[in-house]
Structure formats: C-alpha cells, structure tokens
Amino acid sequence: MKKNLFALLVLALLALPAVASATPLYPGPYVSGFVGVTIPETTNATSFTGGTVFDDRIKFDPGLNVGGTLGYDFGFMRFEGEISYKDLQLNTVTDRGTGERFRVTDGNVDTTAFMANVFVDLHNDTPITPYVGGGVGFAALHMNDVVGYSLSTPGVTGLYMADDQVVFAYQAGGGLELALNRQLSLDLAYRYFGTSQASFISTEFEVKSHNASVGLRLKF
C-alpha cells in the first residue's frame, strides 16, 4: 500500500510541471490570504513598578499568524499592501537582576501590522517560482494585562498593565509560489518581522518574530 501511494505521489509530482506550464501565470492585480504560525524571539524589556526600574527577559509561546494582501504583479516584481495579525502569548518573565522567574498565567500582545511590500520573482522553466523581498509599515500593538505566578516565592502578581502602542515595523523574507493554474497559486512563505521599541505604560520592548505561512494567491 505504501509503495502504491509513493508511486502515485511521484507521478503527480512529475506531471505537475506539464500541467502548470500549460497554464502559465501572467502579470496583473491579485489578492491573497494566508495562515500560519508566528514564533516570537525572546526579548529584553525594561519595566516600571512603583518608581522602580526592572530589567526583564520575556519569553513567548508560538502563536497564530494570519493575514491578506492586495497587490500588482509586473512579471518580475510585485508591489503589495498587507494586513496581518499575530498573537504573541507571553510564557515567562525573568527579572535579570534577581533571577526571579514568573510563569505567565494570563497575558498576550495582539499585533496588527500594515505593511507595504516589494518582492522579486525568480522565474524559471518550472511551475515553482522562488521569490525574495520585504516591506515596511507600522504595527498596532495591544498589551493585555499580564499576570504571572512566581516560581521563587509562590504567589500571583500583576506584571504589566494593559496599554496600546503604534510603532514602526519591518519585515524581510521569501518563499515559493506554486502555480496551480493561470489564476491561482499556492504560496509557501517565511517572514522575519520586527518593530521599533514599544513604550507601554509599564514596560518597553521590541517585537521580533519568525513567521511561516501557507496561502492562496488569486490573479484577476
């Protein structure tokens, strides 16, 4: 059974170039949607409590990465506007001065990014088109109240207060576009996403994350 499935997979892969080459993609406007995962980097933070300044280290959990684009394909280069949402779930906060560690029981940073992107398509004789590029824009960050449980002196305490910030954002990366027909393609993408420092009411830090997604691109 496994041999039969493997044989079918090989035949499908061999047939795919012929199918896609018979229905090549063409320049024009397009829309796309994608869904995937965001993996935030551990970040250093400065926090303020009762007039005291703390040097923290924040670790995040992987979260949701979802969004869409509207753009124009010129054949070798694409320009697009992108809206995306990333859910940054805090995992632990460590006071680097005392070593006290808090397990976050509630708290996340909702990140909505508005980006202007440019990508260069590396066309070849196959239906798979690699591309590279990046973009700049801004991100609207919403910090929810963050509550943690101390692993040193057991007890629940409030770590950061809810607040909103709008900051500069940037991203760079690439991916693979797989042509399914003349109008529709599958998009496998990676983006490194970052922001300038966000100054919330009780803490300051930068957002940096690795983002992988799968999406569909439809040309008109």
Residue 1, amino acid = M
SS3 state at 5:
helix
Q: To which residue do tokens 């439809």 refer?
A: 218
Share of the chain above pLDDT 70, in %: 89
d(CA 5, CA 176): 25
Reported as a pLDDT band with limits 50, 70 and 90, residue 25 is: low
- Band of the pLDDT at 48, cuts 50, 70, 90? confident
Whether residue 60 is predicted with pLDDT greater than 90 in this model: the reply is: yes
How high does pLDDT run on average in the chain? 89
Whole-prediction pTM value?
0.85
Vertex 205 angle, CA 92 and 169, to 5°: 120
Instruction: Quote the DSSP letter at residue 180.
Output: S
Domains of the chain are 2-219 (2.40.160.20)
pLDDT at 155 over 50: yes
Report, as an integer, the average pLDDT of 155-177: 95
